[in-house]
Amino acid sequence: MLLNSSDLQSFLTSHAIPGEILRPGVPTPTVESAARALGVPVEQIVKSILCVVKDAGDPKYVLAIACGTAYVDRRLIAVHYGVGHKRVRLAFPEEVLAVSGYAVGAMPPFGHRQPLPTLVDRRVLALPVVFAGGGDEDAMLRLDPQDIVRITGAVVMDLSGIPQK
């Protein structure tokens, strides 16, 4: 079953998260399109990227959250989990859907089918307000980035390399 913004709103309500789902009236599947639609800098858009970490056991799904067009360096994730950098990859869209319940381009930082280990780039916490996937391609979630850490129990670390243009 595909989750959507209604499911995310239920999660916000049940966990007393003071976030707000916004509908700018256009699809917002990319950082750039979301920033344009909301009239905010790309740095305020946070992306939720599902990664697969392969160690000796079953693959582990890990959510990495970073600002705007910042490059998420999988080598830093590999170091955090004590594996070689070739043991970390981006999840395929069908894995994202199966694991999180949300489609790529709409995935929020929490409220997934199952709790996910979460890593948040430290730069996200330097912002007073961020905008994340809102559960649908035309929805964005406005929230305090501290709530991402509070709700997910995220590890805050340096995830970003050189920004990609």
In a domain, 164, yes or no: no
C-beta of residue 121 within 8 angstroms of C-beta of residue 65: yes
The pLDDT of residue 165: 41
3-state percent breakdown (helix, strand, coil) of the chain, nearest 5: 30, 25, 45
In a domain, 162, yes or no: no
In the chain, the number of structural domains is 1
User: Residues in the chain, how many?
Assistant: 165
d(CA 125, CA 146) in angstroms, rounded, equals 6
Domain with 41 in it: what CATH number? 3.90.960.10
> Residue 47 pLDDT > 80, yes or no?
yes
Strand-pairing partners, residue 47, are: 66
In a domain, 97, yes or no: yes
In a domain, 163, yes or no: no
The pLDDT of residue 164: 43
d(CA 160, CA 113) in angstroms, rounded, equals 26
Q: What is the pLDDT of residues 80-112, one digit of tens each?
A: 999 999 999 999 999 999 999 999 989 999 999
In a domain, 39, yes or no: yes
Q: pLDDT band at 55, cuts 50/70/90?
A: confident
In a domain, 137, yes or no: yes
The region that residue 21 occupies, defined by phi over 0 for left and psi between -120 and 50 for alpha, beta otherwise, is beta
For residue 145, CA distances in Å to 98, 110, 124 come to 25, 12, 7
Q: pLDDT band at 58, cuts 50/70/90?
A: confident
d(CA 25, CA 108) in angstroms, rounded, equals 18
| Burial class of 143 by CB neighbour count within 10 A (0 to 12, 13 to 18, 19+) | buried
C-beta of residue 56 within 8 angstroms of C-beta of residue 48: no
Q: What tokens appear for 13 in the block?
A: 């309500």
Q: What tokens appear for 18 in the block?
A: 């003071």
C-beta of residue 67 within 8 angstroms of C-beta of residue 45: yes
Domain that holds residue 153: 5-157
